Each structure stands twice: as structure tokens, then as C-alpha cells.
Amino acid sequence: MPRKMTVQTLWKMKQAGQRIAMLTAYDYPTARLLDEAGVHALLVGDSLGMVFQGHETTVKVTLEQMIYHTEMVSRAAQQALVIADLPFLCASLPEGEALRCAGRLMQEGGAGAVKLEGGRAFASLVRRLVQAGIPVMGHLGLTPQSVHALGGFSVQGRTRAAVEQLLDDARALVEAGVFAIVLELIPAEVAARVTRELPIPTIGIGAGPDCDGQVLVFHDFVGYTSGYVPKHNKRYAELADAIRRAAATYIQEVGDGVFPGPEQTVHLKPEEAEALAPLLNATHATDGPPQGGHQA
Ligand code: KIV
């Protein structure tokens, strides 16, 4: 069995110049496939609020829902490190309560680490979580939980002040003890600068090729998302098309009586057929649909 990935393995990968491949996962069968394929880390992202639950943002995702999804992914992951998002506002609770939320993601969800969005303002909480034995991943740049404050899902870190702020946040998080930082939707040059400076891995999404690793949202990655597809995404499969085609064929085959065919049909054994013949061969006339139910 392959060795379980840990925070330390990710550090070694950075030191050895090996790129880290992370994907989001929200359910058991998907996590199992990705884990078997050798993905290094599985992020139970609160992006599930958008791509799984169909909301406009991640803001509605609750802690209970995160635990529910994390538990499925953790059970499936034999080798990948499972990281669970602290959902909206959890990191802004009093530290003791935020610690309990993170603790539940690990104890009930089985996560190996948690991720929280934000910089210096959360350094004290990060320190507290790390002291309690909870590995923490940071998340800077576009932080989707703040989409209402940021005014949309737009590229961050384009001005001198913004880049200085980003560097300051990254340094504060490192000092507080995060083991890695997601950099979302920032120019490649800025991500490269942050990555060069930090002793811990950066994992980019829409942050160019020079991060220590990359992450994509599963549904975007396999073409399972309808509507808007972010520019930074690359589709490695076309699941939505495959599902649409499969459904159209199924409807056609059910209509034509082609499905179920002989391979999908169970028959009585001869002795069973003989025993049941009086019952099965009895005629029972029907005059139409049952009465008293649904009226057209
Ligand atoms: O929620 C999520 O999936 C994320 C990734 C986009 C990094 O935070």
C-alpha cells in the first residue's frame, strides 16, 4: 500500500522541487478514484457549496455539511492527505469555538488538516490550532468566503499595496505555523515571488505555473460544471457531455424497449416457472389506469 501523505511529505516535495497535485473531492467514490490515481492531497473545499449544492457562493456551507463530506473523503483516502475547509465565519468565532470547529473536522470528519481563508488577522488563531495539534493550510489572494466584500471573483494582487499586503499576510501565516498556503487568482509573477520567499509549499489555483503545487475544483477539472467555467481551469475530461449523451441514449432505449435487454433480465428457473404457472398465467383484465389517484 502506498505511504500516507503527510504535511512533512509535502515539505520534502517542496525541498526536492517536486510539484504537489491537489484536487478537491466531496464524496467517497470520487475521493477513492483520485486517491488510487495518486493525487497527493484532497481538499474538501467549501467550493462544494457552488459545484455540488448549486449555490452562487460558498457562504451557505455549514460546519455540519463540511463534516459530512469530509468523513466520506477521509474514509476513501488511503494515501492522500485530506484537508477540510473551515466554512464561512468559523475562523471569526472566539478562538475556543473556532478550535472546536477545526477539531470536529478532524475528529468526526477524519481530516488530516484544515484550511482557513485570510492572513495576518488570523495568525493568532492559526497559532492556537497548531499548538493544539491541528495542521493548518492558509489561503490568500481571492478568498471566496469574502466574495461579497471583495465585490466578485476577480484577480487579486495587481497593485504594489496589494502585493505588499499579500507578502505580509503570507509571512504572518508562516510565522504562525501554517504548513502550506493556497494562492488563488493572483498574477503568476506575484505567486512566483511569494513562492520563492516562503519555506513552505504554495498551492496555486489561477496563480500561474511557479507555485509548488496546483489545485483544481473537481467538477471544473472533469468538465462536470454547467455554465461559467473559470479561465484558469483546464478540463481533463468532459463528464457533462458524457452524462448528457448517456441520458439521451437511455431515454431512447427505454422508449424503444431495447433496455432492459436479455443481459439485464432475470428469468425464473424451470421448476419455479412450473410452480408459479397458475398464478402467472391467470388473466386479469384492466380497463385503464387506476381510479381515484392522479387525474390528468
Ligand atoms: O473551496 C475550495 O475548493 C478551495 C479551492 C478553490 C482552493 O478553497
CB 121 within 8 A of CB 95: no
pLDDT of 113: 98
Active-site entry in 71, 164, 175, 184: 184
φ, ψ at 51 (rounded to 5°): -85, -20
**Are 91 and 121 within 8 A, CB to CB?**
no
pLDDT at 283: 81
Q: So what CATH class is 7-237?
A: alpha beta
In eight-state DSSP terms, residue 113 is E
Nearest CA, atom 4, ligand 1: 45
Q: Which atom of ligand 1 is nearest to the CA of 24?
A: 3
C-alpha cell belonging to residue 292: 381515484
Q: Using CA positions, which residue lies closest to atom 5 of ligand 1?
A: 45
> What pLDDT score does 197 carry?
97
- Largest Cα separation within the chain, whole Å, is 87
| Residue pLDDT tens, the chain, 296 long | 457 999 999 999 999 999 999 999 999 999 999 999 999 999 999 999 999 999 999 999 999 999 999 999 999 999 999 999 999 999 999 999 999 999 999 999 999 999 999 999 999 999 999 999 999 999 999 999 988 888 888 899 999 999 999 999 999 999 999 999 999 999 999 999 999 999 999 999 999 999 999 999 999 999 998 666 788 999 999 999 999 999 999 999 999 999 999 999 999 999 999 999 999 998 866 566 766 655 54
Give residue 286's pLDDT.
59
Cell numbers at 217, concatenated: 475544483
Candidates 11, 2, 1, 4; CA nearest to 179 is 11
Cα separation, 62 vs 66, whole angstroms: 6
Name the amino acid, one letter, at 228: Y
> Measured from the CA of 117, which atom of ligand 1 is nearest?
8
pLDDT at residue 178 in the model: 98
Which ligand 1 atom is nearest residue 115's CA? 8
Q: Residues 6 or more apart from 12 whose CB is under 8 A from it? A: none
Residues with CB under 6 A from ligand 1: 24, 43, 45-47, 85, 139, 182, 184, 205, 215, 217
184 is catalytic: yes
Name every residue whose Cβ is closer than 8 Å to that of residue 54 and which is 6 or more positions away in sequence.
none
- Which 3 state secondary structure label does DSSP give 62? coil
Mutate which of 23, 60, 184 for ligand 1 pocket (most atoms within 8 A of beta carbon): 184
Instruction: Specify the residue for cell string 452524462.
Output: 243
Q: What are phi and psi of 116, to 5 degrees?
A: -135, 145
Nearest alpha-carbon partner for 68 in 23, 115, 28: 28
What are the structural domain ranges in the chain?
7-237, 244-279
| List of residues 6+ apart from 26 with CB closer than 8 A | 44, 45, 48, 52, 69, 72, 73, 218
Q: What angle do CA 67, 72, 77 make, to 5 degrees?
A: 120
| Rounded Cα gap, residues 51 and 102, in angstroms | 23
258-282: burial string, b at 16+ Cβ within 10 Å, e else: eeeeeeeeeeeeeeeeeeeeeeeee
pLDDT, position 1: 45
| pLDDT at residue 285, rounded to an integer | 61
